[in-house]
């Protein structure tokens, strides 16, 4: 595996990429010299200053593209054209035209293109989806997932708050939530009705949204998100003390504070475990499913049962899916078309909020 980009999100992938379980990390590309120097020293990998140079290496079979959203299409296509399999961190792209070009490049070159939406690949979410598919709980009724964080007040670069460059909570957070409900329902989204909410004009972008999704089989779902930092829902769900709120106005040191979080600048390279990306509840004919701290709660009229689920390091599921497809000669499940469908819903959220109308993605 080669890793393109060593930002905050990419550094969280390093333990899975380096574990040897599904892949061996052999190369990294980043535009920052300090990040390349640290990676070479700590990880023993070959480093490059561009995605093109990395993908020209014959020892690299596949590439994880973890660069800023506005570069996903360019970097993924560069890798695919050089015969590499590709995983792309969410969102797949920022326009449907970009997504189509990525899918076409993968198919023309006979390579795998996997949309890496980590939170929907959490073992708890996979377990919920499997229970729904099994039919043992009867008909699926509805799915809801809600999350509250301080996303808007963490250090942000200008592009991260610019919708035209794939910034803002819809591209960066709804892509997780849309993928969660799509994974569980297993049907195409028929229509989207959404409103975005701006509670701090000084930040320059809407920081919250409420979305209603109508699936083709008439299953309703809702996704709700707020990045304004009043409630730390993940901590509450885990029974932990909420983190100190990071609310406050942007300042001239925001870029420096952001840079300090990156790999190569002293930032963490620790892995994020998955699950509890907010509160996810699935209602079926004979039970409700609740994602819990240690697994999945199956809530029936006669009582509750906890299905324990082992934790999993971020990126493991994507790497396992890619390895299985490449070595087995099959297609990945969460391919470019899957990522395109999630992107289409995210774009429909923006369009619906602007027009105050139902949008077909």
pLDDT of residue 96: 98
Number of domains in the chain: 2
pLDDT of residue 275: 83
Q: What is the 3-state secondary structure (H, E, C) of 138-166?
A: CCEEEEEEEEECCHHHCCCCHHHHCHHHC
Residues 234 and 252 in one domain: yes
- Determine, yes or no, domain membership for 214: yes
User: If you count them, how many residues does the chain have?
Assistant: 361
- Determine, yes or no, domain membership for 251: yes
- Determine, yes or no, domain membership for 105: yes
Residues 298 and 321 in one domain: no
Residues 91 and 43 in one domain: yes
- Determine, yes or no, domain membership for 340: no
Residues 85 and 130 in one domain: no
Residues 126 and 267 in one domain: yes
Model confidence over 115-160: pLDDT tens digits?
Answer: 998 899 999 999 999 999 999 999 999 999 999 999 999 888 889 9
Which of the 8 DSSP states describes residue 244? Answer: P
CATH of the domain at 140: 3.30.360.10
The per-type count for the chain, helices as H runs and strands as E runs, is 13, 14
**Which residues of the chain form beta strands (DSSP E)?**
2-4, 27-29, 46-48, 62-65, 85-89, 113-116, 140-148, 189-197, 208-215, 220-226, 279-284, 288-292, 295-300, 303-308
Residue pair 86/63 in contact (Cβ under 8 Å)? The answer is yes
Residues 153 and 298 in one domain: yes
CATH of the domain at 20: 3.40.50.720
> Domain containing 139: what range?
120-312+345-355
* C-alpha–C-alpha distance, residues 14 and 324, integer Å: 20
Residues 81 and 162 in one domain: no
Residues 58 and 189 in one domain: no
- Determine, yes or no, domain membership for 360: no
pLDDT of residue 267: 54
pLDDT of residue 272: 56
Residues 106 and 247 in one domain: no
319 Ramachandran zone, left/alpha/beta (phi>0; psi -120 to 50): alpha
pLDDT of residue 271: 52
pLDDT of residue 252: 57
Residue pair 32/23 in contact (Cβ under 8 Å)? The answer is no
Model confidence over 199-208: pLDDT tens digits?
Answer: 999 899 999 9
- Determine, yes or no, domain membership for 144: yes
Residues 23 and 76 in one domain: yes
Low-confidence ranges of the chain (pLDDT < 70): 243-252, 264-273
Residues 229 and 179 in one domain: yes
Residues 181 and 230 in one domain: yes
- Determine, yes or no, domain membership for 291: yes
- Determine, yes or no, domain membership for 361: no
């Amino acid at each position: 595996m080669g890793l393109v980009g060593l930002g905050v999100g990419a550094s969280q992938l390093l333990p899975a990429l380096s574990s040897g379980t599904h892949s061996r990390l052999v190369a990294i590309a980043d535009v920052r010299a300090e990040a390349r120097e640290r990676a070479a020293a700590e990880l023993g990998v070959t480093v490059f200053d561009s995605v093109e140079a990395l993908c020209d290496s014959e020892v690299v079979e596949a590439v994880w593209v973890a660069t800023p959203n506005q570069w996903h299409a360019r970097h993924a296509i560069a890798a695919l054209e050089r015969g590499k399999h590709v995983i792309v961190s969410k969102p797949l792209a920022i326009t449907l035209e970009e997504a189509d070009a990525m899918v076409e490049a993968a198919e023309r070159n006979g390579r795998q293109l996997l949309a890496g939406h980590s939170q929907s690949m959490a073992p708890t979410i996979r377990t919920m989806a499997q229970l729904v598919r099994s039919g043992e709980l009867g008909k699926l009724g509805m799915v809801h997932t809600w999350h509250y964080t301080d996303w808007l007040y963490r250090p942000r670069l200008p592009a991260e708050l610019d919708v035209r460059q794939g910034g803002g909570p819809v591209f960066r957070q709804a892509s997780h939530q849309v993928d969660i409900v799509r994974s569980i329902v297993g049907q195409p989204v028929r229509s989207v009705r959404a409103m975005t909410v701006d509670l701090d004009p000084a930040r320059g972008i809407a920081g919250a949204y409420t979305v209603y999704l109508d699936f083709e089989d008439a299953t309703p779902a809702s996704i709700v998100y707020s990045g304004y930092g009043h409630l730390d829902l993940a901590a509450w769900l885990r029974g932990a003390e909420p983190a100190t709120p990071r609310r406050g106005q942007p300042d001239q040191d925001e870029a420096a504070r952001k840079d300090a979080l990156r790999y190569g600048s002293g930032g963490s390279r620790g892995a994020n475990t998955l699950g509890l990306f907010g509160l996810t509840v699935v209602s079926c004919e004979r039970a409700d499913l609740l994602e819990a701290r240690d697994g999945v709660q199956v809530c029936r009229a006669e009582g509750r049962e906890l299905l324990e689920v082992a934790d999993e390091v971020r990126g493991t599921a994507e790497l396992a899916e890619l390895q299985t497809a490449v070595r087995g000669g099959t297609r990945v499940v969460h391919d470019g078309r899957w990522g395109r469908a999630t992107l289409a819903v995210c774009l429909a959220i923006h369009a619906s909020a602007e027009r105050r109308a139902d949008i077909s993605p």
